[in-house]
Amino acid sequence: MNAAREKWNRRYEARSQVAPATPAFVTQTAPGLLPGSVLDLAAGDGAASLALARLGFAVTAVDIAGVGLARLLDFASAEQLAIQTHCRDLAQPDCLQGLGPFDNILVCRYKPEAALWPQLASALVPGGLLAFSTFNLQQNERHGFPARFCVAPGELKAIDPALELLSCVSVTRDDDCFDDYLFRRR
């Protein structure tokens, strides 16, 4: 087992048996998503997945932590929600192989490695949407969050030629600093 998987499994093991709250980004973004399927990347224990499934999306959740995904399935079962889960290391080549295509991809509080972006674009149907929100460098400056997990201003505007940038905005939510991007597959 790799160190990242162990770290995240320990974090989820330590959490109470309460479903995670829906992130504000998901609440704000969901109405603009295309009907149909959503890939929730780095889904953890389902904060976004559960909310999207409640709204009628066909949700596939991917995360490195099997413990987090097991929690997600427990929460989904309690609400009679159907969510597919896949335990994958997103730092590995071809980690999304066999998944998709999806109408939408949602990435919340996770910064994918540059090598993952072509896979994300390929996992979308033509015209599909990729909604992305993660910490920016202000989070590092204000709270000491590791800079390597933060996006620099405009860093992702031209991350992949198959993705058309629709919007990019810096926001503060609950004293945390994020950059929110919306892309459409060309």
CATH architecture of the domain with range 3-185: 3-Layer(aba) Sandwich (3.40)
Q: Contact, 49 vs 75, CB < 8 A?
A: no
Q: How far apart are CA 71 and CA 17, in angstroms?
A: 8
Closest CA to 55 of 32, 75, 30: 30
Beta bridge partners of 133: 108, 180
Tens of pLDDT, residue by residue over 70-105, are 999 999 999 999 999 999 999 999 999 999 999 999
Tens of pLDDT, residue by residue over 52-79, are 999 999 999 999 999 999 999 999 999 9
Residue 1's pLDDT is: 59
Q: Give me the phi and psi of 182, to 5 degrees please.
A: -130, 125
Tens of pLDDT, residue by residue over 7-36, are 999 999 999 999 999 999 999 999 999 999
Q: What is the pTM of this model?
A: 0.95
